[in-house]
Amino acid sequence: MVMTVSIKNQSVRFGFYRNHACVATFDLASDIARTADEYAVLLAGGMSLQSLDPRACEGAIIASVQPPLTERVASAINRVCGVIPCEVGPGLKTGLNIKIENPAQLGSDLVAMSVGALAQYKAPLLLVDFEVATTVSAIDENGAFCGVVIAPGVTESLSSLSKHAAKLPEISLSAPKCVIGKNTVEAMRSGAVYGAASMVDGLVERMSAELKAPVTVLASGKHCGLILEKCKTDIREDQMLVLDGLYEIYRKNLKGGRKK
């Protein structure tokens, strides 16, 4: 069994692969206040709930955008499963052709997401990720990563609006009743949801034109379903892209997560 771990700004997602198929996943909150011991307890508990035997884990691989958490989660995995995880980064083969000015700047989550998409879908591709930032990654017809758009995430935009506009309240993100809001809360929800959907539609149109080819558009992230409902573009939701990509990278290297 191989463990894949995606550490993002709001969550740590674990995936477990056996015979080239994901057999279980679970999520923990990204919390820099938690110690390695706390993550070890939570990891052991999550695996127990999924009826997974830690001793069956032969390796692990991590993609992280939260450096302070990487070492703690890796230590937790080592303590629970007895393996030392590898991390997506310099020195690890990914098989992804990265055509940007400084490939080292590309986030490991976007690398894994791209590898996972290319393993299942035909290029060219646009990959939308709704996280703290909303990203749209472009993969050309030859399967090369050729660039990305980074925009504020939908919840962060809404939070910033409440923080900097004195008369606008803090609200939860949910589907607006209509585009034209009849009260302050509905107006804010409409701006957040329809604004994000319109941004994605516009970016897909413009990026597709630059790629000069019809593209397949895939999306993942916490509020993916809510935003995609309002998009006019045909976008397929696939929440497994990062974990699947990590598993593919693990297989290319066959060294991620050696036994201690």
Domain boundaries, the chain: 2-91+245-259, 121-237
**CA–CA distance, 54 with 17 (Å, rounded to integer):** 13
Closest Cα to residue 7, out of 69, 56, 57?
Answer: 69
Is the pTM higher than 0.85? The answer reads yes
Q: What radius of gyration do the chain's Cα atoms show?
A: 19
Same topology between domain 2-91+245-259 and domain 121-237: yes
Per-residue confidence of the chain (260 residues) as pLDDT tens digits? 999 999 999 999 999 999 999 999 999 999 999 999 999 999 999 999 999 999 999 999 999 999 999 999 999 999 999 999 999 998 899 999 999 999 989 999 999 999 999 999 999 999 999 999 999 999 999 999 999 999 999 888 878 887 878 778 887 888 888 999 989 999 999 999 999 999 999 999 999 999 998 999 999 998 899 999 999 999 999 999 999 999 999 999 975 445 55
Q: What is the pLDDT of residue 195?
A: 94
Known catalytic residues? Answer: 109
- Name the amino acid, one letter, at 10: Q
Can you spell out the DSSP letters for the chain? Answer: -EEEEEE-SSEEEEEEEETTEEEEEEEEE--TT--HHHHHHHHHHHHHHTT--GGG--EEEEEES-HHHHHHHHHHHHHHHSEE-EESSTTS----EE-SS-GGGS-HHHHHHHHHHHTTSPSSEEEEEESSEEEEEEE-TTSEEEEEEEEE-HHHHHHHHHHHSTTSPP------S-SS-SSHHHHHHHHHHHHHHHHHHHHHHHHHHHHTS--EEEEEETTHHHHHTT-SS--EE-TTHHHHHHHHHHHHHS-TTEE-
Buried b (16+ CB within 10 A) or exposed e, 209-248: eebeeebbbbbbbbbbebbbebbebebeebebbbbbbbbb
CATH fold of 121-237 reads Nucleotidyltransferase; domain 5 (3.30.420)
Q: CATH number of 2-91+245-259: 3.40.440.10, 3.40.50.1860, 3.20.20.70, 3.30.420.40?
A: 3.30.420.40
Q: Are 105 and 173 in contact (CB under 8 A)?
A: no
Largest CA distance in the chain: 60
**CA–CA distance, 160 with 154 (Å, rounded to integer):** 10
Can you spell out the DSSP letters for 203-222? Answer: HHHHHHHHHTS--EEEEEET
**CA–CA distance, 73 with 40 (Å, rounded to integer):** 8
Query: Hey, what are 173's tokens?
Result: 């993100």
**CA–CA distance, 143 with 123 (Å, rounded to integer):** 6
Q: What is the pLDDT of residue 258?
A: 53
Pairing of strands 216-221, 125-130: parallel
Q: What is the pLDDT of residue 211?
A: 96
